[in-house]
């Protein structure tokens, strides 16, 4: 446990000491909402229904793309290799990364939602406890997906992560609502972004219909379990072991 806490602190220091990462993460949700407001011409409470999707996109960026790129870069720079002779195990590194990404996403989500509510006068019926629980659970699950993608070499990990993240966001209806008549709509409802958006929506006072929070949690848990197994089995200490 002491080693895990040390790894968690290391991950948090690495993130918050990068001003560009912090500013871009916290600014993601407000910028997206401002763009939506400009395109749709809607203001105030009408923008509330877009928040679950935007929060999900932000979480995907931090927990999937961010985690995959971070671990892949550290492997190719032989940073992970330095831990090989220490008591740190692959599971310690992966769990530390996942917990750190979860906490980071929680802070970013709260800061972003608070800014949007203040700057755009969006009166949110936010259940703080429900929002924290929902974002924590979806972040924990999504971060394991990032671990599973981290086996890709750093030269191509961004492209591979984008090839996974962006189609999933579109197909699941997170970017924009999908009509049931769209042929891939049902398949999209089995993807992590769909479950994530459905899980956090009630906490933001938005009724999206569809899957219940309990079913969304079960779906995310199943994805997290599969991704954790894949991430642990594909973990390598150095780039020479990656083919």
Per-residue pLDDT of the chain (243 residues; tens, 9 = 90+): 788 898 899 888 888 887 777 777 777 777 777 777 677 666 666 667 778 888 888 888 888 888 999 999 988 888 888 888 787 888 889 999 999 999 988 888 887 777 777 766 666 666 677 778 888 888 898 899 999 898 888 889 999 998 998 898 889 888 777 777 777 888 888 999 898 888 888 877 788 787 888 888 899 899 999 988 888 888 888 876 444
User: How confident is the model at residue 126, as a pLDDT?
Assistant: 64
For residue 242, what is the DSSP state? -
pLDDT at 242: 44
Query: So what's the pLDDT on residue 17?
Result: 83
State the DSSP code for 180: T
- What is the biggest distance separating any 2 CA atoms in the chain, rounded to whole angstroms? 58
On whether the CB atoms of residues 62 and 101 are closer than 8 A, the answer is: yes
Rounded Cα–Cα distance for residues 11 and 9 (Å): 5
Task: Please tell me the predicted confidence (pLDDT) of residue 243.
Answer: 44
What residues contact residue 131 under an 8 Å CB cut-off, 6+ apart?
Answer: 109, 110, 113, 200, 203, 204
Q: Long-range contacts of range 178-181, CB-CB < 8 Å, 24 or more positions apart? A: none
115-130: buried (b, 16+ CB within 10 Å) or exposed (e) per residue?
Answer: ebbeebebebebeeeb
Q: What whole-number distance in Å separates Cα of residue 145 and Cα of residue 94?
A: 11
- Residue 87 CB partners (closer than 8 Å, separation 6+): 3
What are the residues whose beta carbons fall under 8 Å from the beta carbon of 73, sequence distance 6 or more? 154, 157
**Contact predicate 199/145, CB 8 Å:** no
DSSP labels for 207-235? ---SS-HHHHHHHHHHHHHHHHHHHHHH-
Asked if 196 and 62 count as a contact pair (C-beta separation under 8 A), the reply is no
d(CA 32, CA 81): 38
* CA atoms in the 13 A half-sphere facing the CB of 87: 6
Cα dihedral 206→209→211→212 (10° resolution): 60
Integer Cα distance of 190 and 183 in angstroms:
14
* Cα–Cα distance for residue pair 91/169, rounded to 1 Å: 28
């Amino acid at each position: 446990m002491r080693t895990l806490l040390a790894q968690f602190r290391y991950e948090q220091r690495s993130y918050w000491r990068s001003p560009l990462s912090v500013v871009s993460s916290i600014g993601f949700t407000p910028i997206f909402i401002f763009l939506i407001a400009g395109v749709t011409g809607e203001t105030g409470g009408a923008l509330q229904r877009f928040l679950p999707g935007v929060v999900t996109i932000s979480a995907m960026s931090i927990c999937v793309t961010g985690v995959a790129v971070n671990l892949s870069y550290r492997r190719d720079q032989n940073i992970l290799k330095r831990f090989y002779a220490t008591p740190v195990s692959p599971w310690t590194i992966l769990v530390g990364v996942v917990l750190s990404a979860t906490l980071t996403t929680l802070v970013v989500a709260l800061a972003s939602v608070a800014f949007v509510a203040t700057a755009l006068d969006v009166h949110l019926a936010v259940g703080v406890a429900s929002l924290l629980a929902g974002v924590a659970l979806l972040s924990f699950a999504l971060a394991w997906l990032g671990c599973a993608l981290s086996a890709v070499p750093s030269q191509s990990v961004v492209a591979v992560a984008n090839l996974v993240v962006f189609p999933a966001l579109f197909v699941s209806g997170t970017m924009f609502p999908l009509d049931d008549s769209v042929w891939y709509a049902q398949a999209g409802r089995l993807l992590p972004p769909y479950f994530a958006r459905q899980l956090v929506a009630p906490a933001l006072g938005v009724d999206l219909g569809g899957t219940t929070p309990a079913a969304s949690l079960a779906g995310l848990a199943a994805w997290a379990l599969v991704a954790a197994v894949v991430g642990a089995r594909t973990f390598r200490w150095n780039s020479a072991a990656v083919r």
